[in-house]
Amino acid sequence: MKEKTIVRGQTAVKGESVATAALAEQLETRARDYMRRCHETVPSVERHTIWSRLYAASERLSMAVRDGDVADAVIEIGSNLLGCEEIVVVELHAETKLMSFLASVGVSATQRHALSSKFHQIAAEIKRGQARIVDKRVAGDEFLASIGVSALAPLSQGQKTGAIVFFNLLPQRKSFDSGDRELLGLLSVYVGPSLFGT
């Protein structure tokens, strides 16, 4: 069992930084809030499903922050809660113009090459700072659609940037929906600091 210590009001596991403990605690607080909202919402209402998915993602990220397996947790969340079978978590290195692939599932060599060979365009998409569901009919989404991206959640912490890139969904899913947009937003807010700041 891991030894816990209290540091400046944050519960930290021995060897865990205060920043990690604070981030995990923020996620746990969000998870409790989402759970409360679930209990206040009639289960037959679509909003209940959205709260449930946000709760599950917050809980999983909180555990991942403490365990140090955030990139793998993102893949799990993308597969199980977003129904995506091709996901990659990338970090961009501005000084070398290279891209690191931190975790992935179902992503082909062709898809990896499409991302890494378009460093500047991907960096520009990340700089926009918004989690996006890509629609090739929408102005501004043409580039991402042309390389097969269906959604993108930008990540940042300080000078470090990256993204969670979603390609194809599972066959039973036709497209992302508004509930997915909220989950992508949650990932965009918390995964960058979890990966790059702890």
Q: How confident is the model at residue 198 (pLDDT cuts 50, 70, 90)?
A: low
The CATH number given to whatever domain includes residue 107 is: 3.30.450.40
Look at 7 and 89; give whichever has higher pLDDT.
89
Give the contacts of 21 (CB within 8 A, at least 6 positions apart): 7, 10, 11, 12, 13
Predicted TM-score (pTM) above 0.85: yes
Please tell me whether residue 87 adopts helix, strand or coil conformation. strand
Q: Where in the sequence is the domain holding 124, given as residue range(s)?
A: 85-173
Structural domain includes residue 54 = no
Structural domain includes residue 38 = no
Structural domain includes residue 42 = no
Cα–Cα distance list, 149 to 7, 12, 24, 127, 198 (Å) = 42, 38, 30, 16, 28
Tokens of 127: 């700089």
Structural domain includes residue 169 = yes
* CA 106/CA 164 separation, integer angstroms: 14
Domain count of the chain?
Answer: 1
Mean pLDDT in the chain? 88
* CA 149/CA 141 separation, integer angstroms: 9
Structural domain includes residue 70 = no
